[in-house]
Structure 1
Amino acid sequence: MTDPASPPAVVPWRLVLLLGALTAFAPMSIDMYLSSLPAIGRTLHAGPEQTQATLAAFFAGMAIGQVIYGPASDRFGRRLPLLIGVAVFLAASAACALAPNIETLIVARFVQALGGCAGAVVARAVVRDRFSQTDTARVLSLMMLIMGLAPVLAPQLGGVVQLIAGWRGVFWTLVVFAVIIGVWILFGLPESRSAETAAQARSENPLRAYVALFGMRRLMGYALAGALNGAVLFTYISTAPDLVMGTYGHTPMAFNLIFAVNAVGIIGASQINRWLLRRSTPDQVLRKASIASIVAALLLTLAAWTGWGGQWTVLPLLFAALSVYGLMGGNTMAGALSVDPRRAGSISALMGSASFGSGALASWVGGLLHDGTARPVAAVMFACLVGSSLAIFFLALPGGKKVQA
């Protein structure tokens, strides 16, 4: 194991910037268009449930696509699957911009996610190709700083683009983003897959690889913890527009500001995580962060169900509960990738698919329980964070054992 007190590895900033940009496909695609949902509904003559389906379709595409790209990146290298994914994302974004009806937009959003998910899968695998477990957690936290700019800037950019060019202009902006990233990959991303990973991938089909991963207790603990934390984030993303603009009556501009503040909380926590990893292992940080997350979610649930303080209590506690994600995301991913580095691509895909799959399910449950208050959101978040903590303490870290890098 890398000594957490030792100096961290030298950070290749150009590579980290590119990898951070690759992980921004999902937040850019989601956050830029959230405030455009009412306009989309009016233009395409669609109700709230149909416009919400465009978000659910994207979550589903992200969950399914990662299962494909992970083993492909182990077998064919990191660059080729990534370039294919960017090309699919580019074409689907153009289809979204040209969609004549809501049904076409839903399908195009699903395909858009099938392409965009390649960025996150391959970026995480590249990090594990180059770094040990503790340094992987550090670099992933640094990438979150870069990726985190997307939820801060994307809603503002999306609002400006919508004013100038309408909601279709938002998707044309994503086309331009894909072109820039594709060129950057061609000239700025060296192949990093190891010979051991290639040999392992050639020796087994993807199904066997996943079967082997599902049999690893520690990996399942990290995967469940990461997925349930992701569910908290995606529950917030899918319910925030209705809660902030509908229930609390804020304007779209105020919603974008609140959304940006919560994103800053996650980014700030991820950078605190980098500092903590100079003195602690990723697993030690996970133990303490999981307890903090339950406390924050419990207080949020109590405030939502009692109504005490109204939005002025709920929104700050929501900020606290979301911020803990910055301490959990990178460490659960680093722990999972350390279990079997030869299958880094498949593990990255498994983690990402589990996160988006549980996020889609949690969002659906939150919508099913929707009653015009913050209570369903708080209850779903609390349940997910309790489950995450149980997975950490009883599966990922049984008996207090430390994970070897």
Structure 2
Amino acid sequence: MTKQRYVFLILILGSLSALGPFSIDMYLPGFPAIAQDLHTTPARVALSLSSYFVGVSAGQLLYGPLLDRFGRKKPLYIGLLIYALASIGCYEAHSIDALIWLRLFQAVGSCAASVAAVAMVRDLFPVKDSPKVFALLMLVISASPMLAPTIGGYMVASFGWQSVFLVLFVMGALLLVASLLWLPESYAPDPTYSLHPRPILTTFWSVLRHPQFFTYALTGAMTFGGLLAYVSGSPLVFMDIFRVSSQVYGWIFALLSVGFIGSGQINSWLLRYYRSEQIVLVAMLCQSIIGLVFLLGTMQGWFGVVGTIVMLFLFLCCLGFANPNAAALSIAPFSKNAGSAAALMGATQMAVGALASFGVSYFNTNTAVPMVAIMAASALLALGVQLIGRRLIDEPVAVSEEAGVMAH
């Protein structure tokens, strides 16, 4: 594979992976405007974020078997089409209930892109390159929290919140065209792969019971729950409590994403000297300490706008180190069932994220405490999973191994 082809594939896969984050981040500055226009509260608007996470979680379990049965591209096309149609529906929504349901369908469409992208990393690149490829994908994905809320803030102020969903429709349509024209089919359809519930559940169970998978998939899911608690809680914290404008909120969100991006790229350098397992454990330990300090300080009223931004920045830096390594380690043992493993990993992440997001909305107390408490709890749970799960892995599959390279 030439370097130019290598970069081009990562760009397409990264864009597919970024569709979901863009769909989440871009409309966040519009929460107050949506609440006012649809005669509801920002906390109820946040349920449209929770429904999105539920849709992604359920949808990934659906697409995993489809990707292993029909190849990667056909299910991807169907998902992107559903996404585009649901985006138009969100543009036309006239009630909060309609928006909540349409966001669920939008999520079901978008998760085809993310599951296909993760599975195709396993198909197209050597196992030893997985952490580096995931870090490069994160670089593309990380453009969304830098660009999406900033652009969304100005669009909401200038054209109304509905314009955000029009842009998301265009993005989905362009990615569908790009996938049709330039993305290779990386996995031959497997007619022997059964789509009956029992064999599918058997496949999922065989993946789930692998100690390396559940240790690192759960670690990634817990840290991801902390991230989505921040994503769903930050509009309420910054725009309702600290009273910043939608444009300023967009810039704050972009600034905070620098920590996520920067640490993800530093992670690529650290992989020259340390194993992925070591990096994940240290990241979880640091994030737990930061989360506890953040919670204590928030409860005591130590942090204003600047202090809150600093603590969130440090917390997100730990995510940049943990997530790419946890993702690579969780799917490293699989080649034949890589699609199902990727789907199960993503579904676990989004299920935990949906609970975290719902918790922030449910315990809305007009303070930052619910958001920060859920973030701290997620970090501590992830650390606990690491400390217990690592003892259960008898024969770890290192991401530096060549086994299963280009099996398809």
1:207 aligns with 2:201: yes
Residue of structure 2 equivalent to 1:351:
345
The more displaced of 375-384 and 236-245 is: 375-384
Give, as a single letter, the amino acid of the residue that structure 2 aligns with 1:157: I
Residue of structure 2 equivalent to 1:336:
330
Residue of structure 2 equivalent to 1:242:
236
Q: For the Cα contact (< 8 Å) 2:47–2:361, is it kept in 1?
A: no
Alpha-carbon shift at residue 374 of structure 1 (Å):
2.3
Give, as a single letter, the amino acid of the residue that structure 1 aligns with 2:305: Q
1:370 aligns with 2:364: yes
Q: For the Cα contact (< 8 Å) 1:366–1:380, is it kept in 2?
A: yes
Give secondary structure in 2 for the equivalent of 1:249. Answer: coil
Alpha-carbon shift at residue 400 of structure 1 (Å):
8.9
- Counterparts in 2 of 1:247-326, with a 5 A limit? 247-326=241-320
Cα distance, 1:133–1:292 mapped onto 2, change above 3 Å: farther
Q: For the Cα contact (< 8 Å) 2:256–2:316, is it kept in 1?
A: yes
Residue of structure 1 equivalent to 2:384:
390
Cα distance, 1:112–1:268 mapped onto 2, change above 3 Å: same
Alpha-carbon shift at residue 339 of structure 1 (Å):
2.0
Residue of structure 1 equivalent to 2:163:
169
The more displaced of 114-123 and 240-249 is: 240-249
Alpha-carbon shift at residue 131 of structure 1 (Å):
2.7
Q: For the Cα contact (< 8 Å) 2:212–2:393, is it kept in 1?
A: no
Residue of structure 2 equivalent to 1:218:
212
Alpha-carbon shift at residue 392 of structure 1 (Å):
1.9
Give secondary structure in 2 for the equivalent of 1:371. Answer: coil
Q: For the Cα contact (< 8 Å) 1:59–1:357, is it kept in 2?
A: yes
- Counterparts in 2 of 1:25-104, with a 5 A limit? 25-104=19-98
Alpha-carbon shift at residue 332 of structure 1 (Å):
0.8
Give secondary structure in 1 for the equivalent of 2:161. Answer: helix
C-alpha distance in 2 between matches for 1:113 and 1:120:
11
Q: How many residues align?
A: 395
The more displaced of 306-315 and 290-299 is: 306-315
C-alpha distance in 1 between matches for 2:37 and 2:372:
33
C-alpha distance in 2 between matches for 1:334 and 1:231:
18
Q: For the Cα contact (< 8 Å) 2:233–2:361, is it kept in 1?
A: yes
The more displaced of 283-292 and 157-166 is: 157-166
C-alpha distance in 2 between matches for 1:177 and 1:249:
31
Q: Deviations over 1:198-255 (max 9, x none)?
A: 4773598322111212222221111110110110010000000111111222222221
C-alpha distance in 2 between matches for 1:238 and 1:68:
25
Q: For the Cα contact (< 8 Å) 2:142–2:260, is it kept in 1?
A: yes
Alpha-carbon shift at residue 256 of structure 1 (Å):
0.9
Give, as a single letter, the amino acid of the residue that structure 1 aligns with 2:146: V
C-alpha distance in 1 between matches for 2:215 and 2:186:
27
C-alpha distance in 1 between matches for 2:208 and 2:185:
28
Give secondary structure in 2 for the equivalent of 1:324. Answer: helix
C-alpha distance in 2 between matches for 1:24 and 1:309:
31
C-alpha distance in 2 between matches for 1:294 and 1:102:
36
Q: For the Cα contact (< 8 Å) 2:42–2:236, is it kept in 1?
A: no
Q: For the Cα contact (< 8 Å) 1:152–1:259, is it kept in 2?
A: yes
1:182 aligns with 2:193: no
1:131 aligns with 2:125: yes
Q: For the Cα contact (< 8 Å) 1:21–1:146, is it kept in 2?
A: yes
Give, as a single letter, the amino acid of the residue that structure 2 aligns with 1:105: L
CA RMSD in angstroms comes to 2.0
C-alpha distance in 2 between matches for 1:202 and 1:57:
29
Alpha-carbon shift at residue 401 of structure 1 (Å):
6.2
Give structure 1 regions of 4+ aligned residues with deviation exceeding 6 angstroms. none
Q: Give unpaired runs (5+ residues) of structure 2.
A: 402-408
**Which of 139, 151, 168 is 1:157 aligned to?**
151
Q: Deviations over 1:260-311 (max 9, x none)?
A: 1111110111101111112222112112212121122122122112222433
Cα distance, 1:200–1:270 mapped onto 2, change above 3 Å: farther
- Percent identical: 34
C-alpha distance in 2 between matches for 1:81 and 1:397:
37
1:121 aligns with 2:115: yes
